[in-house]
Each structure stands twice: as C-alpha cells, then as structure tokens.
C-alpha cells in the first residue's frame, strides 16, 4: 500500500514501534488480538488496528502539499478536511479557511471565491451541485480533490446498479458530509433515499410492501429522498449502499432485513432475488472493518475500562465507543488534555456530544488494565500522548522509552 508524506507532528515513536512490530509478526493482518504494553502499575491493551487510514493520509498529504505549492494564494476547504480538531486547527494555522461547517452551513459565501483561489474538497467528498458551482467559477475541483477512494468506490457501485434499473437505499446519517455527497451522486442516476438506522428501515419497509399509507411517506422521510421520488413504484427494485464509516453489523442487518422483506413479499428465492434486490456486497471501507474487528478482538482482554480517542463529530470513532461501552466503562476523549488527573476525565457522550467530568474513572487497584483505540482520523501522536499521560499517573518501573526499546529489539 502507498506510503504517504504526513507531517511528523502526527507521528509517535511509541505507536510507530508498535505498528512496525505487529506488521512484521502478522503480515496478513489475521491476528486481531491487542498489543499489551506492560508498564507494571498500568497495563495498556492497544487495539491491533487504529488511527489514520489510507483515505485520511491521502487527504492530509494533498492538503499540506497544496499549501506548500501555492504561497500567497487564498486556500479554502469546503468543510472540515477530516473529523479531527487538531488536524483542522493545523490547517487553519497555515491559513486555510473553511467555506462551510460540518453540517453544510455556509461560513464564507461562494460569491467571495474567484478562479484565482484554491478550493480543497475534503475526504468525505462533496455534492455534484457544489462541484458544478466551483467548475463554473473556473476552479479545477479535480486538482485539489482529497475524496477518499473508498467513498468513490461506493459512488461507483451505486452508479453500476443504477444503470441496471435499480433505485438506491443509502444507510447513513442524513446530515453527515459523506452521506450528503453519496446521496447527491446516487440521486443523479436513480431514485434514492437515506435511512439512518434499523428503525427507519423498518418504517420504510412498510411502505415498500404497501402496509403504510403512501402519502405519509413524504412527511416521515422529508429531506431524505430524491426529487420526484415515487414511493409507490421507486422501491420495487433497489440496492443498498452506505456511508463507509457506519457499523458493519448495522449495515449488514439493514441489508439483510430489506432483502428478506422483498423475498417474502414477492415470493422470491436465491435464484430470482436479483429481480428485485441488487447484490451490492459490503461497501464499508477496509479501515472501518479492520478497526471495528480490532475492537472486538481487544474486548476479549480482561480490563477495567476503555479509552477511545478521536474527534467528537467523527462517525467511525463514535461507533468504536459504542462497541466498547457494551462491555465495560468507556471514556471518549479527543486529546490527552481531557485526562484531567488520575481522578477525573472529561468524557464526551457519543450520543449527545455533551462533555462532562467523570470522577474516579481509574480504579484504585494495580495493575490498572486499560483498553485503548482511536478513530481513523486520529493522529498516532495523540494516542502516544494519551498513553504517556496515563503512565505518568503511576510510579511504574517501566517508561515509554524502555517499552520502545523492547519493541525495536
């Protein structure tokens, strides 16, 4: 896989040593057990896979290279490059301005942009209408496009089934940048609709088989279907694609539910199901799959708590928190500063995004066993600093430096 030029501020000697050792021991990535970093008083169980993915490193490389190659020019991002506050802050420190917030609210008018400016498309991609607007202004969107290749893979899959006469159901968060972009590309080719979760999928299913009153669909799913969508006919043939950072189990459950619904309603079998339901296969990206599977492997270890590091508006990170908290106390932080002390942590509720101080999050016994992972947009440097801070709370016989030396030996 391609190696990207990512600023050293995002690297960590400890994490680099861990990843290098695991890669040399498990080249096929079949071992999803965590890495034990035993400091004595505190034991860290680090997930097998975590941190920057291919798409994120690609976006960061393009962004910083664009800044270096365009001195004196105004450089804009359509929205956050990725869902990580530190990376976005670094870009702003280098003079990059955001045109929209993460929900599409305009911060700087497109009227203020000229053909002499540089506009970066973030890793989530963007809508066809925004691409057209920029191109009309003479801004070459393809030159500064950091859209993740795995997001584009989903778009391509949607286009393929659209050409075969299928409509599209998108599993995603309706307000998320990636979902908005995927919806735009899908709707340009075929009738499309977004479902956020299984509850909405079940509700949609009732319209598909005629159990719900068709007129009610348009208010119940307002803002989630393409222009001219006809619920009485547009879901007679369809396929499911998704926002790439959703929980793999959730997307699979939604796809399975709709497939079974269609099979029963139209009295189909495995031979005839393609008449009504497209085989889209799993469109989740490899990093989402690996990180979620690694968390499952990490949770097999006996531990006192879990810490998940990443941006609070990061979808893939929130799902890692969701997985961890099903088994043990889990704390969601975006930087080592949120570890206020040995006694208190500033934890983010992944449902509400509200933060609150939690007391006595670390048990009094030793060794304390802590599971740690991070989202696909979280720099390794933050993970390394979180570990260093946790170790600093204890009088441990081993240091981070000594652990690095052992890993490299």
User: Residue 355: enclosing H or E segment and its boundaries?
Assistant: strand 355-359
Residue 12 DSSP SS3: coil
Q: Determine the pLDDT at residue 29.
A: 85
Name the residue with tokens 């890793």: 123
- Average pLDDT, integer, range 41-56: 94
User: Does the pLDDT of residue 1 top 70, yes or no?
Assistant: no
User: Residue 66: enclosing H or E segment and its boundaries?
Assistant: helix 54-69
Confidence label for 181 from pLDDT (cuts 50, 70 and 90): very high
Confidence label for 82 from pLDDT (cuts 50, 70 and 90): confident
Task: Let me know the angle formed at the C-alpha of 314 by 373 and 202, rounded to the nearest 5 degrees.
Answer: 105
Active site residue 178: yes
What is the C-alpha separation between 383 and 387, in angstroms, rounded?
6
Q: Determine the pLDDT at residue 86.
A: 92
> For the chain, what is the mean pLDDT?
94
Q: Determine the pLDDT at residue 409.
A: 85
User: Does the pLDDT of residue 303 top 80, yes or no?
Assistant: yes
Q: Determine the pLDDT at residue 5.
A: 86
- CATH class, domain 149-275, is alpha beta
CATH number of 8-53+286-408: 3.40.1010.20
Task: Kindly report the pTM of this predicted structure.
Answer: 0.89
Q: Determine the pLDDT at residue 169.
A: 97
Sequence-distant (6+) residues with CB within 8 A of 129 are 184
Where in the chain do CATH 3.40.1010.20 domains reside? 8-53+286-408
Give whole-number Cα distances, 43 to 49, 54, 330, 384, 398, in Å. 18, 29, 16, 14, 11
* β-bridge mates for residue 372, sequence order: 46, 307
Q: Determine the pLDDT at residue 282.
A: 61
User: Does the pLDDT of residue 118 top 70, yes or no?
Assistant: yes
Where in the chain do CATH 3.40.50.11270 domains reside? 54-136
Name the residue with tokens 């994490």: 15
State what percent of residues in the chain have pLDDT above 90: 86
User: Does the pLDDT of residue 2 top 80, yes or no?
Assistant: no
DSSP state of 121: B
- Average pLDDT, integer, range 18-28: 93
What string of H, E and C letters represents the secondary structure of 237-276?
A: CEEEEECCCCCHHHHHHHHHHHHHHHHHHCCCCCCCHHHC
Model pLDDT for residues 196-215, shown as the tens digit of each residue:
999 999 999 999 999 999 99
- Average pLDDT, integer, range 104-114: 94
User: Residue 212: enclosing H or E segment and its boundaries?
Assistant: none
Confidence label for 28 from pLDDT (cuts 50, 70 and 90): confident
Confidence label for 284 from pLDDT (cuts 50, 70 and 90): low
What is the C-alpha separation between 329 and 311, in angstroms, rounded?
19
DSSP state of 54: H
- Average pLDDT, integer, range 218-231: 97
Model pLDDT for residues 136-161, shown as the tens digit of each residue:
999 988 889 999 999 999 999 999 99
The token pair at 361 is 């999050």
- CATH class, domain 54-136, is alpha beta
What is the C-alpha separation between 75 and 251, in angstroms, rounded?
36
Catalytic residue, from 131, 178, 200, 322: name it: 178
Task: Let me know the angle formed at the C-alpha of 292 by 152 and 62, rounded to the nearest 5 degrees.
Answer: 40
User: Does the pLDDT of residue 308 top 80, yes or no?
Assistant: yes
The token pair at 52 is 């920057």
Q: Determine the pLDDT at residue 99.
A: 96
């Amino acid at each position: 896989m391609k190696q990207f030029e990512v600023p050293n501020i995002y690297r960590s000697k400890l994490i680099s040593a861990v990843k290098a050792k695991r890669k040399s021991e498990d080249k096929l990535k079949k071992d999803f057990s965590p890495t034990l970093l035993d400091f004595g008083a505190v034991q860290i169980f680090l997930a097998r896979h975590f941190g920057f993915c291919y798409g994120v490193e690609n976006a960061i490389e393009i962004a910083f290279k664009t800044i270096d190659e365009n001195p004196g020019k105004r450089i804009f991002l359509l929205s956050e490059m990725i869902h990580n506050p530190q990376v976005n802050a670094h870009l702003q420190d280098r003079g990059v301005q955001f045109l929209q917030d993460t929900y599409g609210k305009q911060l700087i008018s497109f009227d203020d942009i000229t053909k002499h400016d540089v506009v970066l498309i973030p890793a989530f991609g963007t809508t066809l209408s925004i691409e057209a607007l920029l191109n009309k202004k003479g801004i070459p969107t393809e030159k500064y496009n950091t859209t993740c290749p795995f997001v584009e893979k989903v778009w391509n899959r949607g286009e393929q089934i659209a050409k075969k006469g299928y409509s599209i159901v998108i599993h995603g968060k309706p307000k998320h940048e990636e979902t908005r972009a995927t919806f735009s590309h899908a709707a340009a080719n075929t009738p499309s609709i977004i479902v956020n979760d299984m509850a909405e999928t079940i509700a949609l299913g009732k319209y598909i088989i005629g159990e719900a009153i068709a007129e009610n669909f348009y208010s119940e799913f307002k803002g989630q279907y393409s222009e001219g969508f006809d619920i009485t006919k547009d879901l007679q043939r369809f396929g499911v694609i998704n926002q790439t950072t959703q929980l793999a189990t959730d997307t699979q459950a939604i796809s399975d539910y709709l497939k079974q619904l269609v099979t029963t309603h139209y009295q189909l079998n495995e031979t005839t199901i393609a008449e009504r339901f497209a085989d889209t296969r799993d469109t989740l990206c490899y990093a989402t799959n690996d990180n979620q599977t690694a968390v499952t492997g990490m949770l097999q270890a006996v531990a006192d708590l879990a810490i998940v590091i990443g941006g609070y508006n990061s979808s893939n990170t929130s799902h890692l928190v969701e997985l961890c908290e099903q088994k043990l106390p889990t704390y969601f932080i975006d930087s080592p500063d949120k570890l206020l002390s040995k006694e208190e942590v500033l934890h983010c509720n992944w449902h509400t995004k509200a933060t609150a101080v939690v007391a006595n999050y670390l048990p009094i016994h030793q060794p304390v066993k802590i599971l740690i992972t991070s989202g696909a947009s979280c720099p390794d440097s933050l993970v390394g600093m979180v570990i260093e801070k946790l170790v600093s709370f204890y009088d441990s016989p081993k240091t981070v430096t000594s652990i690095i030396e052992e890993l490299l030996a």
